[in-house]
Amino acid sequence: MSASTFSVTILEKEYQVACPKDQQAELLLSARHLDEQMRAIRATGKVIGLERIAVMAALNISHELLQARNGVAAGDKDKATESNKTGDKKVDAADTASIAGLNAKLDEALHQLRQLEIG
């Protein structure tokens, strides 16, 4: 699959992102979700600065992802806590690799954001 460059807008800033053509729809949905998360965080007025807002949004989205992977719905947090107390760990090597990949992508995005702010 060849990657093409697509433009996404997050918090009124445009970003060029390389993405396979067959994943463009998912990229746009992801960008929209991130934009919504960042706008909600910015609207609270408690977090100042684009980089901090991006990190908080990334943490929130990572938390959502981990809950979804562990089968934790909004009302099932007590079950997840109880499950962890009994030693039932659902994080495996694939989850760890996925989280590491997400962290690498976040680091790269933050690096590019710093470059845009400097330039």
Q: How does the average pLDDT of the chain come out, rounded?
A: 79
Task: With H, G, I as helix, E, B as strand and everything else as coil, classify residue 46.
Answer: coil
- State the pLDDT at residue 98: 73
The model's pTM is 0.58
CATH number for the domain harbouring residue 48: 3.30.160.880
- State the pLDDT at residue 91: 54
User: Residue 90 is part of which domain span?
Assistant: 3-118
Identity at 48, one-letter amino acid code:
I
- State the pLDDT at residue 5: 92
Per the model's pLDDT, the better-predicted residue between 38 and 109 turns out to be: 38
**41 vs 107: CA distance, rounded Å:** 19
Mark out the alpha helices in 1-119 (DSSP H runs): 24-44, 50-69, 77-85, 93-118
Question: What is the total count of domains within the chain?
Answer: 1
**33 vs 56: CA distance, rounded Å:** 14
